[in-house]
Amino acid sequence: MSSDQSHQSVWLVTGASRGIGAAIVARAHQEGCRVVIVARGAEALSTAERLGPGAIAIQADVSDVAAAQGAIEKTMATFGRIDVVVNNAGVHRGGKVERLSPEDWQTVLNVNLTGALNMIRAAKPHLQPGSSIINIGAVVGFRGFPGDVAYASSKAGLSGMTNALAIEMGKQGITVNLVVPGLVLTDMTSGLSDAAMENMKAKIPMGRLGQDREVAEVVYWVSQSRYMTGATVPVDGGLMCSFGVVSP
């Protein structure tokens, strides 16, 4: 996607009403792109209002096939194209395997993994050569963390999905990549105990939490890369390469 095209492109971002998703749509909008904010809650509407012209909100549950299809149809009716799909929607249900309920397990997979597939399947007929799909992963999809079996499994699944779809869509000129944030202070991570937070921070070589805008910067850059596909791009302050190392 050239710089001229980027100023007319349409981004659809799921889970975009807050946190990393909101930072991604803000960055794309700042670059002159039109943005579609997809989220379940009413916060999507206020996020779109705050951004102003060129931003619309669609309240939809990505785990619902019909809702995902409806979001794509509304995007096409409004803007007539889709250039970048960012699968950021996610839920977290913790608990070690013996305490994790079947309902929580299924909820996490339905939103984090199946939800991404629903959006991709609905969007694919409208994607042109030069389009980009970016899935948002997590460090725990690659490195073990006790009590995170559902979330880790869903994010590991996104990695496999990214690789398979990169091959499937490569000849169509559509790139599919995975961006992996590290420990970023959002509503989701704010539920961690102080002890867990300090334990994680001690493993980050850069010695601090990430900021959602830092992830958004990398997501935007990935969307512009035309020859990179099937890649895993960490934005984690070095966490993945030092996971499990005890700081001196």
Which pLDDT band holds residue 244 (cuts at 50, 70, 90)? low
What pLDDT is stored for residue 1 in this prediction?
Answer: 46
* Burial state string for 7-37 with b = 16 or more CB within 10 A and e = fewer than 16: eebbbbbbbbbbbbbbbbbbbbbebebbbbb
What pLDDT is stored for residue 2 in this prediction?
Answer: 42
Mean pLDDT of 62-81: 98
Contact by Cβ (8 Å): 218, 20: no
Query: What is the residue-averaged pLDDT of the chain?
Result: 91
Task: Report yes or no on 166 lying in a domain.
Answer: yes
The domain that holds 230 is classified in CATH as: 3.40.50.720
What pLDDT is stored for residue 46 in this prediction?
Answer: 94
Mean pLDDT of 76-102: 94
Which pLDDT band holds residue 196 (cuts at 50, 70, 90)? confident
Q: Which residue blocks in 7-135 are alpha helix, DSSP H?
A: 19-30, 43-51, 65-79, 102-109, 115-123
Q: pLDDT tens digit string along 90-132?
A: 999 988 899 999 999 999 999 999 999 999 999 999 999 999 9
Distance (Å, whole) CA 237 – CA 239: 6
What pLDDT is stored for residue 144 in this prediction?
Answer: 82
Residue 238 CB: number of other CB atoms within 10 A? 14
Q: pLDDT tens digit string along 1-33?
A: 444 444 589 999 999 999 999 999 999 999 999
Task: Report yes or no on 198 lying in a domain.
Answer: no
Task: Report yes or no on 227 lying in a domain.
Answer: yes
Question: Which structural domain range is residue 171 located in?
Answer: 3-190+211-237
Task: Report yes or no on 81 lying in a domain.
Answer: yes
Q: Please confirm, yes or no, whether 151 is among the known catalytic residues.
A: yes
Residue 233 CB: number of other CB atoms within 10 A? 18
| Catalytic option among 14, 18, 58, 151 | 151
Q: pLDDT tens digit string along 136-191?
A: 999 999 988 888 999 999 999 999 999 999 999 999 999 999 999 998 977 666 66
- pLDDT of 85 > 70? The answer is yes
Report residue 64 as tokens: 């619902």
What is the 8-class DSSP label of residue 205? T
If one counts the domains in the chain, the total is: 1
Which pLDDT band holds residue 203 (cuts at 50, 70, 90)? confident
Task: Report yes or no on 14 lying in a domain.
Answer: yes
